[in-house]
């Protein structure tokens, strides 16, 4: 059954769900889980994953602070376009610098920041992509959390602790916040 907005089983408005955190902290996993759940309810959703964006939208950018900031501004621009047109934009990008995240937040009417918090020691042990090992060996320069800073958000709407929560628990915490903020009202 569709509501008066043409959406099945409830209501949603365009918004941006911005996942930030160190490499391997669960941004992509959680963004896919939330996107899948939203789509099952009939929502229009686009996921902008940092790794994929770098291959297409930000091809040619390096890993200097200026290039990282430009990458985040580009992702933010696309999120703003999508969300103001009724689409739920989900960004999953390390986005290491607080100032540019706040700049993006200021441009998007409905912006929800999710901090995927996980201790560096746990991420080094997990090292799913083998990147921490390379960074610690000096094979990757400017690696966030090792040789380049990560500035955690000061007031994110949601903090998930991916070292002690299951992905399902973290996704449920995010879902509850979206309902609390009245961005979604699905059954």
Give pLDDT tens digits for 21-44: 999 999 999 999 999 999 999 999
Residue 128 resides in a domain: no
Domain count, the chain: 1
Full-model pTM: 0.91
> Using only C-alpha atoms, what is the Rg of the chain?
17
Q: Residue 74: is it exposed, middle or buried by C-beta count within 10 angstroms (0-12/13-18/19+)?
A: middle
Residue 20 counted as domain residue: yes
Q: Is residue 38 part of a domain?
A: yes
Q: What is the CATH number of the domain that holds 56?
A: 3.40.50.300
Q: Establish if 141 belongs to a structural domain.
A: no
pLDDT, tens only, 136-171? 999 998 899 999 999 999 999 999 999 999 999 999
User: Does the active-site annotation cover 95?
Assistant: yes
- Residue 67 falls inside a structural domain: yes
- The angle subtended at Cα 131 by Cα 166 and Cα 112, nearest 5°, is 45
Full domain range(s) for residue 67: 15-119+149-180
Choosing from 95, 141, 147, 170, the catalytic residue is 95
Give dist(CA 103, CA 116) in Å, integer.
20
44 domain residue, yes or no? yes
Nearest residue to 16 (alpha-carbon basis) of 119, 118, 87, 120: 87
Model confidence at 129: pLDDT above 80:
yes
The answer to whether residue 70 sits within a structural domain is yes
> What is the pLDDT confidence band of residue 10, given thresholds at 50, 70 and 90?
low
82 CB contacts (<8 Å, ≥6 apart)? 14, 16, 46, 88, 89
């Amino acid at each position: 059954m569709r509501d008066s907005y043409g959406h099945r089983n409830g209501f949603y408005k365009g918004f941006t769900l911005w996942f930030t955190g160190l490499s391997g902290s669960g941004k992509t996993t959680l963004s896919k889980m939330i996107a899948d759940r939203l789509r099952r309810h009939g929502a229009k959703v686009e996921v902008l994953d940092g790794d994929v964006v770098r291959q297409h939208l930000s091809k040619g950018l390096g890993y200097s602070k200026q290039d990282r900031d430009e990458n985040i501004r580009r992702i933010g621009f696309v999120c703003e376009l999508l969300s103001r047109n009724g689409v739920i934009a989900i960004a999953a990008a390390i986005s290491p610098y607080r100032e540019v995240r706040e700049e993006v937040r200021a441009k998007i009417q409905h912006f929800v920041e999710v901090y995927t918090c996980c201790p560096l020691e746990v991420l080094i042990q997990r090292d799913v992509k083998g990147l921490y090992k390379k960074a610690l060996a000096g094979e990757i320069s400017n690696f966030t959390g090792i040789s380049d800073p990560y500035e955690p958000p000061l007031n994110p709407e949601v903090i998930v602790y991916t070292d002690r929560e299951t992905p399902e628990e973290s996704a449920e915490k995010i879902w509850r916040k979206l309902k609390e903020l009245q961005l979604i009202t699905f059954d």
